[in-house]
Structure 1
Amino acid sequence: MPLSPADDAFAQGLAAALPDGTLRRAEPRYLEEPRGRWQGAQGWVAAPRSTQEVAQIVKACAAACVGIVPYGGGTGLVGGQIAPQGDGQPLILSLERMTAIRAVYPDENVLIAEAGAVLADVQVAAAEADRLFPLSLASEGSARIGGLLATNAGGVNVLRYGNARDLCLGLEAVLPDGQIWHGTKRLRKDNTGYDLRHLLIGAEGTLGLITAASLRLSPIPAGSGTALMVVESPAAALKLLSVARGQLGEGVSAFELIHRQGLDFLAEMLPEVRQPFDAPPEWMVLVEVGLAQGLDPAGALERLFEAGLEAGLVQDGLIAQSAAQRDDFWAVREQIPEANRRIGAVSSQDISLPLGAVPEFIARGDAVIAEIGQFRINCFGHLGDGNLHYNIFPEPGRSRADHENQREAVKRALHDLVHEMGGSVSAEHGIGRLKVGDLGRYGDPAKLSAMRAIKAALDPLGIMNPGAVVPPATEQSP
């Protein structure tokens, strides 16, 4: 069934039924995304203040067959928050006013937050209760809980604490017919039928709108330590990870792989970021550990360095001697995406592979790209969970616009390789609109059939984030 536009007549009728100021014209920030690949259609934004108002808006959209595009912090990198021009005129629904921390239960390690709460504010609320909310990523100052759950966000601490899915005990959500599901229970065990929580997490707003969540907290480690270690190769880094986990078990919180190209981009675009080594190494890893009371993080990292040196895996290293130095180390990793953005990527890949396949992929990926043309490759990411950001850039003196005719070929060649090696073409950013075709091409036919059936059952009008995530039935897997 074709959708109707959220035109002025629809918006005026809806506005009359809601508190003043709930609806307004979409400002430019709602029509843009960080990589500049998508431009949204002009229209209206609804910014409700409560779950009841969200339900009222969804019911009105369902009655008029108007599409809804959910908007969180706007930090998504696959176009899930943008309805491109030519896709009708859906209503943008922003949860930016629903920011409350509803409750904190320190003894239960639970925090309940509304979907519009910014990740950094949730982290602060947990810390004030002497607890840790471990989801951590570069956009945590603007990314919102609802969007993070809707995309099943990852970040640097997945190795120890898991994805957003693993940090959620329950949800409150508005379903496509306007019903409110009150599921913010604080239970670890609840086997009462289908788990709607896991269905909505990662669905990117295509099956319902998350309005609040019960989040899993953790004790703050009594001691933490951070180190940068120079490794000979990705294969050496992988072996060092195995050594680290053998020595420290779940004490390893993060294990990030960084290539020299990322340091070169920082020097070029963000010279204020302090470089850790006088001469940038070809490969290094950023290791963070968090240990229980009575254990010495610095000593643990020293023993890891010594074991790596003895095994021929580590060539050099630095262990943070202060909180300021630890922040400097992390600034290097966290500012790489910003330097990438300023350089301008021809094609950016968010992929995951079996851990043992990562070194082979990096070698084969470099060869695949060399066959297409001359590029710079910045490969970095969360080695501990097999998630690489494998990004392709123009050579000095050229821009991404010079390679626009090669962008699709680059993506296709790399995604073909990922699929061949048993990986995923979307590790932590989601499908959005950017990768709908990829999911149709590489997705398992049975999974795609089930996804379409679920979408049709829960959202028969197709109003929830139309055009995102679910490939049309015409898309065929290889």
Structure 2
Amino acid sequence: MTQLFPADSVFQAALAADLPEGVLGLVEARYLAEPRGLFEGQAGCLARPRTTDDVATLVRHAASARVPVVPYGGGTGLVGGQIAADGPAPLVISFERMTATRAADPLAGTLTVEAGAILADVQDQAEQMGLLFPLSLASEGSARVGGLLSTNAGGVNVIRYGNTRDLVLGIEAVLPTGEVMHGLRGLRKDNLGYDLRNLLVGAEGTLGLITAACLRLVPRPSDQATALMVVDSPDSALKLLALARRMVGDGLSAFELIARAGLDFLEEVGPELRQPFADKPDWMCLVDLGLPQGQSASDALMALFEAAAEEGLVLDGLISQSEGQRQDFWTLRETIPEANKRIGAISSHDISVPIGAIPAFLAEAPARVAHLGAVRINAFGHLGDGNLHYNVFPPKGEGREAWAFARGEVKQAIHDLVHEMGGSVSAEHGVGRLKVGDLERYGDPAALAAMRAIKAALDPHGIMNPGAVLRHIP
């Protein structure tokens, strides 16, 4: 790869000549921070383009001057993909001004939006069309479409609707040369050559910058309901999942596993919420159904609960009786990460293992860190698709700063176990800069070599988000 240079005053002046309203030399601190505080970013200048042509102009300048480019969406990424902590100070391109809806087609079930569109706004537009954009995650009020596509975000509805990759029919993107790839046709079937859409989705801005996307919408369920069901073990939770699939099929929208530790953390540090059960259970499942017209989701959940109780899989349960109560159940689940943040983890892990191996993983993982002492574990997440957030915390009353020495050891212990079980150490958050070493350690050598070859072919000077996903070698 070519030596890169900082976005200095000469480079900024050249940009300002072409984009006088879109370039700032002073970069606000919010563009240089990330939610977990693991990286402190740097930038030579910030650009806030309004159009795809603006983005193409920026990338052409960067390619000519060999200046690194770092894309910035909503800033919600958890692996540092939006932060350049070292190397030449980059050009940061924020998509916050590119929020337009370019097309809406309720008959085709598509919505074409620019990369800066906020997920919650996309969801609202789909609802106004009488349809659903089913991607749902805790940061949907600030996460932007470009970042979600770049990381192939997951969320709570993957079991039914798939990852972000499965909800995109076409993309427009600026390639490392500054050329624009026009692919917003929104076709369900298109085999005209290599699938460059799926190459760029999940590439975290290392192969090009996604500027717009044609999103696939789905019918809105006519009736929805959610239940909290108490189980005695992850094994029972897995059997409950299998039973739910048999009984409701595609009507199962989400199936989440919640451990007592999450409820304890909420009680300890907040946010303050009403606990659903008088006695906090060790394990419970959040089961969400969305059914077509003429079918009752509440009745289906009651039938599921009765069948599961007869098989000895559930010990107690609550079924939402209103949309407000349904949202309360989801608020409980989605607030657990905030309680985790307030406690402060030694090491957090976004992992996936084969669904059938989850009970064995949860049984073995504590033993891998037991030698450290009375650490606390909160394991929760998307049981329906095998994705767990397995987080290790200091003993009660101790801060994570005092345990910084153990972070790498804990991370490797958990990731080694995931790898042994045929899982992935990056399930839905991406690789970013945080997991570059993990990709090298656990990734398939042939796949890693192919990734490096693709990067070299499309971005021979290495200007696109250098250091994310693949280690940058000057």
Counterpart residue identity of residue 153, structure 2:
A
**Equivalence for 2:28:** 27
**For residues 394-448 of structure 1, what are the alpha-carbon distances to aligned partners after superposition, in whole Å with 9 as ceiling and x for unaligned?**
1111111111110000000100000000000000000000000000010101000
**Equivalence for 1:102:** 102
Counterpart residue identity of residue 62, structure 1:
A
Counterpart residue identity of residue 87, structure 2:
D
**Equivalence for 1:129:** 129
Deviation at 1:374, TM superposition (A): 2.2
**Equivalence for 1:5:** 6
In the superposition, the TM-score normalised over structure 1's length comes to 0.98
**Equivalence for 2:399:** 399
Deviation at 1:88, TM superposition (A): 1.6
**1:56-455 to 2 correspondence within 5 Å?**
56-84=57-85, 86-455=86-455
**For residues 189-232 of structure 1, what are the alpha-carbon distances to aligned partners after superposition, in whole Å with 9 as ceiling and x for unaligned?**
00101000000000000000000000000010011110000001
Distance 1:46 1:17 in 2: 12
Is contact 1:47-1:94 (8 Å) kept? Answer: yes
**For residues 114-161 of structure 1, what are the alpha-carbon distances to aligned partners after superposition, in whole Å with 9 as ceiling and x for unaligned?**
000000000000000000000000000000000000000000000000
Deviation at 1:26, TM superposition (A): 1.1
**For residues 34-73 of structure 1, what are the alpha-carbon distances to aligned partners after superposition, in whole Å with 9 as ceiling and x for unaligned?**
0011100143110000000000000000000000000000
Distance 2:445 2:355 in 1: 25
Q: Which runs of 5+ in 1 are unaligned?
A: none
Distance 2:472 2:419 in 1: 20
Distance 1:167 1:81 in 2: 23
Counterpart residue identity of residue 433, structure 1:
R
Is contact 1:25-1:45 (8 Å) kept? Answer: yes
**For residues 313-352 of structure 1, what are the alpha-carbon distances to aligned partners after superposition, in whole Å with 9 as ceiling and x for unaligned?**
1000000011111111001100011111111111000000
Where 1:347 maps in the other structure, the secondary structure is coil
Distance 1:271 1:170 in 2: 39
CA separation of 1:164 and 1:271: change in aligned 2, threshold 3 A = closer
Counterpart residue identity of residue 182, structure 1:
H
Deviation at 1:471, TM superposition (A): 3.8
In the superposition, the TM-score normalised over structure 2's length comes to 0.98
Is contact 2:271-2:338 (8 Å) kept? Answer: no
Counterpart residue identity of residue 98, structure 1:
M
Distance 2:426 2:263 in 1: 25
Where 2:212 maps in the other structure, the secondary structure is strand
Deviation at 1:9, TM superposition (A): 1.8
Is contact 1:439-1:471 (8 Å) kept? Answer: no
The number of residue pairs the alignment matches comes to 473
Distance 2:363 2:239 in 1: 17
**Equivalence for 1:464:** 464
Counterpart residue identity of residue 374, structure 2:
Q
Moved more, 127-136 or 21-30: 21-30
**For residues 275-300 of structure 1, what are the alpha-carbon distances to aligned partners after superposition, in whole Å with 9 as ceiling and x for unaligned?**
11111110000000000111111110
Counterpart residue identity of residue 19, structure 1:
P
**For residues 443-475 of structure 1, what are the alpha-carbon distances to aligned partners after superposition, in whole Å with 9 as ceiling and x for unaligned?**
10100000000000000000000001014689x
Counterpart residue identity of residue 67, structure 1:
P
Counterpart residue identity of residue 277, structure 2:
F
Is contact 1:160-1:252 (8 Å) kept? Answer: yes
Deviation at 1:21, TM superposition (A): 4.1
Distance 2:186 2:73 in 1: 24
Counterpart residue identity of residue 6, structure 1:
A
**Equivalence for 1:49:** 50
Counterpart residue identity of residue 3, structure 1:
L
CA separation of 1:440 and 1:473: change in aligned 2, threshold 3 A = farther
Distance 2:283 2:97 in 1: 43
Distance 2:275 2:135 in 1: 26
Distance 2:187 2:143 in 1: 26
Where 2:348 maps in the other structure, the secondary structure is strand
Deviation at 1:271, TM superposition (A): 4.7
Q: Which runs of 5+ in 2 are unaligned?
A: none
Counterpart residue identity of residue 247, structure 1:
M
Is contact 1:436-1:471 (8 Å) kept? Answer: yes
**Equivalence for 1:36:** 37
Where 1:452 maps in the other structure, the secondary structure is helix
Deviation at 1:373, TM superposition (A): 3.0
Distance 1:144 1:10 in 2: 28
CA separation of 1:226 and 1:463: change in aligned 2, threshold 3 A = same
Deviation at 1:165, TM superposition (A): 0.1
Q: How high is the sequence identity, in percent, across the aligned residues?
A: 64
Moved more, 460-469 or 272-281: 272-281
Distance 2:440 2:416 in 1: 13
Distance 2:218 2:407 in 1: 42
Is contact 1:72-1:95 (8 Å) kept? Answer: yes
